[in-house]
Amino acid sequence: MSCEGDVTGHYSKGALLDALMAALRDDGVDLDRLSIQDLAPYDQFHGRGLEATLEVADLLACSADDTLLDIGCGIGGPARYMADRFGCRVVGIDLTAPFIGVADRLTEMTGLGGRVTFRQGNALSMDLDAQTFDAAYSMNVSMNIADKAGFYAEIFRVLKPGASLVLSELSKGAEGDVQYPTPWALTPNESFLATSEETLEGLTAAGFTIVTVEDTTAQSIAYGANAKAMVERGEKPPHRAVQLIHGPIALDAMRNTAAAVKSGAAVPVEILCRK
């Protein structure tokens, strides 16, 4: 990674919890009965929001006895979804300390505190024992990490033999360049996109067996078209996490990502592999 401060500075933009509570009140949500569905437009901080998380869950296919690891968990939306859907335990780890505070609070408010826990830490050196987790996933995190070999090796270390890993992320496409800002980086200096081929080679070199690879470009474009139509009808878009977290740069960041996916400069992929 370029520098931990670059990453955490990029994602820490002030009173996130207050802004989120205000947005939920504006949606008419009863904060005393907060559900993961109420939070979904805001706490899934990756392309296609809950739709993509659902697909990652389908690939993981966990059981209630499992303990999952969410690497780069953000404010915890995917972790809460997995715990709610499978009845399993989830540990989330993220570099950005303010995200951990918000993740804890939201988890307490949604009544999932017994099964979902979060801790601040770096994915490159996690304070976790070897061979602990039944499965792991990471959504839109690797784009902030330069040391991909270190990233894959560290995930491999903490997984049990036979455990699944799902990576859902943007890879570097063959067509043109990504324009910045994006939701994951203000400038190209903080962005570390790998091609899908590089990612598959890196995972294999770390010891993983690749099971499936899906290019989700078509789904991303369709999701963006639907969101645009909703806004044109005067509705709130389905996915409002980037606006919540990035404020003034959000619109440019989302436009640049949509343009990169459309042009082929960036390719969204979902990779299932096994230790």
Please report, as ranges, the residues that interact with ligand SAM according to CB under 6 A.
Answer: 1, 7, 11, 44-46, 72-74, 77-78, 93-96, 99, 122-124, 139-141, 144-145, 183-184
Smallest gap from residue 126 Cβ to ligand SAM (A): 8
Nearer to ligand SAM, 44 or 191 (CB): 44
Smallest gap from residue 99 Cβ to ligand SAM (A): 5
Smallest gap from residue 73 Cβ to ligand SAM (A): 6
* Burial readout 229-266 (b: 16 or more C-beta within 10 A, e: otherwise): eeeeeeeebbbbbbbbbbeebbeebbebbbebbeeebb
Instruction: For residue 181, give every residue at least 6 positions away whose Cβ sits within 8 Å of its Cβ, in sequence order, or none.
Output: 187, 246, 249, 252, 253, 256
Nearer to ligand SAM, 110 or 144 (CB): 144
Residue 24 CA, chain-centre distance (Å), reads 21
The residue type of 2 is S
Nearer to ligand SAM, 145 or 200 (CB): 145
Nearer to ligand SAM, 156 or 184 (CB): 184
Instruction: Check if the beta carbon of residue 52 is closer than 8 Å to that of residue 271.
Output: no
Smallest gap from residue 234 Cβ to ligand SAM (A): 27
Smallest gap from residue 25 Cβ to ligand SAM (A): 22
Nearer to ligand SAM, 100 or 161 (CB): 100
Residue 8, CA distances (Å) to 12, 38, 40, 85, 151 in order: 6, 26, 23, 30, 17
